[in-house]
Amino acid sequence: MPGVAIATITSELKSQFLDGMAPSDLRTILSTATQRRFAANSVVTNQGHPADHLLLLTKGCARHFFVTEEGKKLLLKWLVPGNLFGGRTILSS
């Protein structure tokens, strides 16, 4: 999908990460973005794997959870449109 279509979708989205950015900076960031769709109940990232993508949820909801040694899922947070995840990918190691 071209960057212009992504910018149109995301410019209507309220995200603290994008708030206050100059329109030219926002266009630059969004022009390099790739829109992805995931089926319901998909695992997008796995616990213990290195972060390699910064993702912005634009539609739907997702849950961030931790799996215990016993295999139980502990809900950490519900993600809603505008939330980011995978932020460790932008931190220096």
What crossing angle do the helices spanning 23-31 and 3-11 adopt, rounded to 10°?
A: 130
Alpha-carbon distance 44 to 38, whole Å? 8
* Statement to judge: residues 23 and 3 lie in one domain: yes
* Statement to judge: residues 27 and 44 lie in one domain: no
Domain that holds residue 1: 1-35
Pairing of strands 73-79, 62-67: antiparallel
Looking at the 3D structure of the chain, how many domains does it have?
2
CATH number for the domain that contains residue 60: 2.60.120.10
pTM score, whole prediction = 0.70
* Statement to judge: residues 50 and 93 lie in one domain: yes
Summarised one tens digit per residue, pLDDT across range 2-60 is 444 444 445 566 788 888 889 899 888 888 888 889 898 888 888 888 878 888 888 89
